[in-house]
Amino acid sequence: MTLLLLLGCDHTDPFDAPSVGTDQPFDATPPIRLTLNLGPDRGAAWLPDGSGIFYSGQQLGRSDHDVCLALLPPGGGRQRQATCDLTPQGSNLTDALESAAPAPDGRLAFLTASSRLGENSPREQSIVLASIADPRGYRVLRSVPYPISPERVHTGLSQLQWWGENRLLYLGELVRNFSTCSICPLDTLRSGLDATWLPVEEIAAVPQRIPGTEYASGVSPGSNENEMYYTIGGDSRVFSRNLSDGSVSVVHDFGPAGIARDVHVVKNRMAAVVGGRVTFGVHPLAGPVQWDSGGALHIVDLPAGADVALDGPGLFRRPRISPSGSSVVVEVYPLIIAGGDGGLPDTTVSRSGDLYLYGQP
């Protein structure tokens, strides 16, 4: 059965928390809820053979509030592996391991960040290279932030993926903390700046911005080392670029469905988040940015151009299609309805999401 048919199942109502001592998913009814955590779970990445799913989850029960790197079975269940505390001062620091990118030969790239307890911004960030078997045995490829051009600085990144044997592809980002008033809590703004690649065989790797991808909002490797897909802030189209000759083509236009982002392509299938709670505009301090709280999940059969929008228990972000193309794991952020001014209901989006699986691994 194709992915488009598998993903057509209706979602179920919320369910009670099950025992954590099980190798089965929380609920086997499609879509399968893979995680159930009071903190955010995000950044899913399939093992190249489809035998597991890496993701980052914040452990609110820990005094240091670490964001740990965990590995799940492909259909959900008990964690096979969890990595926290990369630094010797682990209990005094909040460590975050994000954007895992496993390679077919057993290597594992990811982003590390460390901050003092209670700080709002990391003191240290690095793109690192380790192994799936031992994420702690890493070497630093590149410290973050870094200048990508005389006028632009990448202060964060996401969507880290392998692009060939010795090159990483990712979304270079602007990450800033803002407060709308003197007593208001800080909010974090993340917005894409450039599709970027990084060579991993070099001692001091130098990030390379891909021309024509300014204000990119999603990146994905293509079928070979020269092809990549990307989306641009405020745009409904998905583009393909050939790095060898610089040619660009429009792969799909979601049109009135809205702004496209978080693209991911495997074989002939493409996943993207479209529309929803997203706005592209100019921030007085940060310049052109895209505010994004999630949208609808679309699956596109590229040869046929068939586009299917999936229902879910919230708004979607960062889908990842399995290596076989038969399923997709995606972050889901619930909608929260509360009383607003004058007694009218007000809807917000939760900052803590969980991972859901559509299709069969």
Q: Is the pLDDT of residue 19 over 60?
A: no
Q: Is the pLDDT of residue 308 over 70?
A: yes
- Residue 103 CA to residue 131 CA, distance in Å, equals 9
Across 53-62, 148-157, 168-177, 245-254, least confident range = 53-62
Q: What pLDDT shows up at residue 22?
A: 55
Q: Is the pLDDT of residue 190 over 80?
A: yes
Q: What pLDDT shows up at residue 187?
A: 73
218 and 272 Cβ atoms separated by less than 8 Å: yes
Tokens 């660009």 found at: 248
Q: Which residue has the higher pLDDT, 151 or 207?
A: 207
Most confident of 3-17, 78-92, 216-230: 216-230
DSSP letter assigned to residue 6: H
Kindly state the tokens that stand for 1: 């059965």
Average pLDDT over residues 59-88: 85
Across 22-36, 122-136, 214-228, least confident range = 22-36
Query: How does residue 92 score in pLDDT terms, banded at 50, 70 and 90?
Result: confident
Across 93-97, 180-184, 193-197, 222-226, least confident range = 180-184
Query: Where does residue 347 rank: exposed (0-12), middle (13-18), buried (19+ CB within 10 A)?
Result: exposed
Could you tell me the CATH number of the domain that includes residue 163?
A: 2.120.10.30
Number of Cβ within 10 Å of residue 164's Cβ equals: 15
- Residue 157 CA to residue 142 CA, distance in Å, equals 12
Q: Is the pLDDT of residue 84 over 70?
A: yes
- Residue 119 CA to residue 98 CA, distance in Å, equals 18
Query: How does residue 11 score in pLDDT terms, banded at 50, 70 and 90?
Result: very low
Q: What pLDDT shows up at residue 137?
A: 93
Give the strand pairing for 107-116 and 124-131.
antiparallel
235-291 per-position pLDDT tens digit? 999 999 999 999 999 999 999 999 999 999 999 999 999 999 999 999 988 899 999
Most confident of 56-65, 76-85, 288-297, 341-350: 288-297
Q: What pLDDT shows up at residue 307?
A: 97
Q: Is the pLDDT of residue 193 over 70?
A: yes
Q: What pLDDT shows up at residue 115?
A: 79
Q: What pLDDT shows up at residue 60?
A: 73
Dihedral pair phi/psi, residue 70, rounded to 5°? -125, 160
Kindly state the tokens that stand for 72: 């799940």
Q: What pLDDT shows up at residue 17?
A: 36
- Residue 239 CA to residue 228 CA, distance in Å, equals 8
Q: Is the pLDDT of residue 1 over 70?
A: no
Average pLDDT over residues 180-206: 84
Query: How does residue 50 score in pLDDT terms, banded at 50, 70 and 90?
Result: very high
What mean pLDDT, rounded, does the chain reach? 87
Percentage of the chain surpassing pLDDT 70? 85
Q: What pLDDT shows up at residue 2?
A: 43
104-153 per-position pLDDT tens digit? 999 999 999 987 776 667 778 999 999 999 999 999 999 999 999 998 99
Number of domains, the chain: 1
Q: Which domain holds residue 91?
A: 3-359
Q: What pLDDT shows up at residue 276?
A: 96
- Residue 257 CA to residue 43 CA, distance in Å, equals 24
